[in-house]
Amino acid sequence: MSSRLVAGPLALIAAGGVVAGPLLESGLPAPPQQWVFIVFTLPLPALGWLLAVRRPELRYGWLLLAAALTLGLALLGVGLSARGDGHPVLTALGSLSAVFYGLTWIFVPLLFPDGRLPSRRWRAVAWISGAAIALHTGGNLAYGHDPYHPRGGPLSATQWAGVFASSAGQLTTWIMAVIVFCGLIIRWRRSGQAERGQYAWMVGGMAATAAGAVLLSLFHFGGPQYGVVGLVGLMAVVGSLPAAIAVSVVRHRLLDVRVGLRGSRLHLVFDLRPTVDEVLSDLGTALEETPEPVEQLARLAAAVRTGLDLRWAAVTLADGTRVVSGEQEGRAVLELPVRGGRIACGPRDTGPLTRVDRRLLEALAVPAGLAIQSAGLVTRLVNAQEAERRRIERNIHDGVQQQLVALIAGLELARATGAGPDMLAGLREQARQTLADLRELAAGIHPSALSQGGLVEAVEERCSRLPVRTTVTSPPSLRARRFADEVEGAMYFTVSEAVANALKHAAAATIEVRLAQDGNRLCAGVTDDGRGFDPRTQARRGLATLADRLDALGGSLTVDSEPGKGTRVNAWVPVDG
């Protein structure tokens, strides 16, 4: 919307100057050559407006608008000067024609087709050209040339300086235009099949513009009166480049703008590919309305496919989960790695992918990476929850359930045989062991000490039952603090898993647990003196699930270990200060 608010007024001012300037200069009724000039000039602001509105992220449309605006203001200044007394402001407006010629002869072909320099080597040409255009314009202002109000008498020092500056700037502009034109020809010869047609029309448009400039300088007889040859030259100067760009749009989908006929009536329909902002906006809305992770991946793949006009697009997670939009045929022509996975693009029906397509895909990389990471995290959490449920079910079946079955059988036997004190004492001990096992199982699910006493007390109780020397350190202020259940649970089970790994896999003799609050972070660290390992070659076992759990809370988990130097596990989650 902001691009429309800016591009619209600029195009209207440019078009108004293009129409009003020549009509003021010649008066009404205007001669036919003035109307021909207006007709050939109006496509420039119209084309600049179209590209600026539909591709605001690219510079090319704005460049064409700037050229159209300077031309319109220059023509308006000349027209008002023809009807007035030659005010300096009008002379200044007329001097903007130097900017128009500099933009169309140098920067329009130099920045073709997407508004960027072909390479860094062209920066010097761009800077020199900009300085030449400024020198030419400034020289015209200093000289104060006005064909309808020539100044009498000898030239002043300022006017002589303006003459020299204008001549030097104009000569440099011509030289830079020749260099840019030669570079355009080289890029045309080296371009791929998809862009060769675009470059060919731009080369033809530049050649026609140069020829028109020669004709105009040879056969322009002054004022609004042109000879036939001069009029042809003028039309070539103002109309060749817009015509070349328009043909590139229609025939070769320049900047992915397609024009066709649709419906029962003959009218033009601009069937335009969505802009980057439109794709990102639609994708964000779609992801917000789609809670299911697989469906989010499907929406993402569909957005890539639609945005790039592909036959198919696929999104793949790091765990191998793959979602395809469209019917996949053949190999991908472009793949982009993003955080948590990658995006694969199939071919297009209308030709190979261009640099504009690649930049659109790169713009989608950040939201795509977040969506892929979110979907992968949700999937891992769901899998972890399912694995934990099965573990609890297995522990109940293999442990406490079997003990209860044995206890019931023993009670039935005691009732049938009239058991004595020894048998009853054994059954009582068996019941106590079953109760202890139930408490241990409950502690693995959510310990009562965590609900009643908080994180520090629960960690101390967990470490007090370990068979090796274990110390728990925390500031006194943290013992009385309570946090959200999901925060305390995540930190408790992280510490519990870390000390369990130190016992099972590291053969540690001592373990140190540290709990602290650092600003808005609740931190936990577990250090052991075990055998250590190489984190690059070994999985983190249960810590991977806990890392996902912390990540879902906005925190993080890191493991630092080396063979023979123990292991250090550090975790944190955000909390209120």
| Stated pTM of the model | 0.52
Helix, strand or coil, per DSSP, at residue 106 = helix
Could you tell me if 92 and 195 lie in one domain?
yes
Domain count, the chain: 4
User: Is residue 439 a part of any domain in this protein?
Assistant: yes
- Residue 126 token pair: 């761009």
User: Is residue 14 a part of any domain in this protein?
Assistant: yes
Predicted pLDDT of residue 385: 65
Helix, strand or coil, per DSSP, at residue 520 = coil
How many other β-carbons are positioned within 10 Å of the β-carbon of residue 507? 12
What are phi and psi for residue 330, nearest 5 degrees? 80, -170
Does the CA dihedral 172-38-114-4 come out positive or negative?
A: positive
- Residue 398 token pair: 């293999």
Contacts of 262 (CB under 8 A, 6+ apart): 269, 271
The per-type count for the chain, helices as H runs and strands as E runs, is 22, 11
Could you tell me if 429 and 510 lie in one domain?
no
User: Is residue 266 a part of any domain in this protein?
Assistant: no
Contacts of 107 (CB under 8 A, 6+ apart): 63, 126, 129
Contacts of 152 (CB under 8 A, 6+ apart): none
Helix, strand or coil, per DSSP, at residue 556 = strand
Could you tell me if 294 and 233 lie in one domain?
no
Could you tell me if 281 and 425 lie in one domain?
no
Could you tell me if 134 and 241 lie in one domain?
yes
CATH code of residue 305: 3.30.450.40
Residue-wise pLDDT for 304-344, tens only, equals 887 777 889 888 877 677 888 888 888 888 888 777 678 88
User: What are the beta bridge partners of residue 343?
Assistant: 315, 336
380: nearest Cα among 538, 549, 543: 549
In one-letter notation, the amino acid at residue 318 is: A
User: Is residue 265 a part of any domain in this protein?
Assistant: no
User: Is residue 423 a part of any domain in this protein?
Assistant: yes
Could you tell me if 300 and 173 lie in one domain?
no
User: Is residue 131 a part of any domain in this protein?
Assistant: yes
412: nearest Cα among 402, 401, 423: 423
51: nearest Cα among 220, 272, 366: 272
Could you tell me if 410 and 502 lie in one domain?
no
Q: How far apart are CA 211 and CA 557, in angstroms?
A: 69
- Segment-wise mean pLDDT, segments of 10 residues, the chain, 577 residues: 79 92 84 84 89 77 90 87 75 85 90 82 92 90 73 76 88 92 89 76 88 75 56 79 80 59 48 60 64 69 80 81 83 79 80 70 69 62 63 59 64 73 73 66 64 86 81 90 85 84 84 92 92 72 70 86 89 86
Q: At which of 376, 392, 416 does a domain end? A: 376
DSSP string spanning 204-230? Answer: HHHHHHHHHHHHHHHHB-STT-B-HHH
Could you tell me if 161 and 307 lie in one domain?
no
54: nearest Cα among 326, 482, 487, 46: 46
Domain with 411, as residue range(s), is 380-443
Could you tell me if 372 and 385 lie in one domain?
no
Could you tell me if 334 and 427 lie in one domain?
no
Could you tell me if 232 and 329 lie in one domain?
no
In one-letter notation, the amino acid at residue 438 is: L
- Residue 243 token pair: 């015509």
Could you tell me if 327 and 465 lie in one domain?
no
Token match 């920067």: residue?
107
Helix (H) or strand (E) holding 176: helix 157-190
Helix (H) or strand (E) holding 442: helix 421-445
The residue ranges of DSSP E strands in 406-536, in sequence order, are: 469-473, 510-518, 521-528
248: nearest Cα among 316, 200, 211, 318: 200
Residue-wise pLDDT for 349-394, tens only, equals 666 676 667 777 777 766 666 666 666 566 666 666 666 666 666 5
Contacts of 23 (CB under 8 A, 6+ apart): 30, 34, 38, 79
Quick one: three-class SS letters along 539-560?
CCCHHHHHHHHHHHCCCEEEEE
CATH code of residue 542: 3.30.565.10
User: Is residue 267 a part of any domain in this protein?
Assistant: no
Radius of gyration of the chain measured on its C-alpha atoms: 39
User: Is residue 264 a part of any domain in this protein?
Assistant: no
Q: How far apart are CA 49 and CA 60, in angstroms?
A: 10
Does the CA dihedral 148-154-157-160 come out positive or negative?
A: positive
Classify strands 510-518 and 469-473 as parallel, antiparallel or unpaired.
Answer: parallel
Predicted pLDDT of residue 222: 46
Q: How far apart are CA 429 and CA 433, in angstroms?
A: 6
CB 456 within 8 A of CB 468: no
Predicted pLDDT of residue 168: 92
Predicted pLDDT of residue 451: 77
Q: At which of 349, 376, 403 does a domain end? A: 376
User: What are the beta bridge partners of residue 517?
Assistant: 522
Q: At which of 324, 342, 376 does a domain end? A: 376
Predicted pLDDT of residue 472: 93
CATH code of residue 151: 1.20.1070
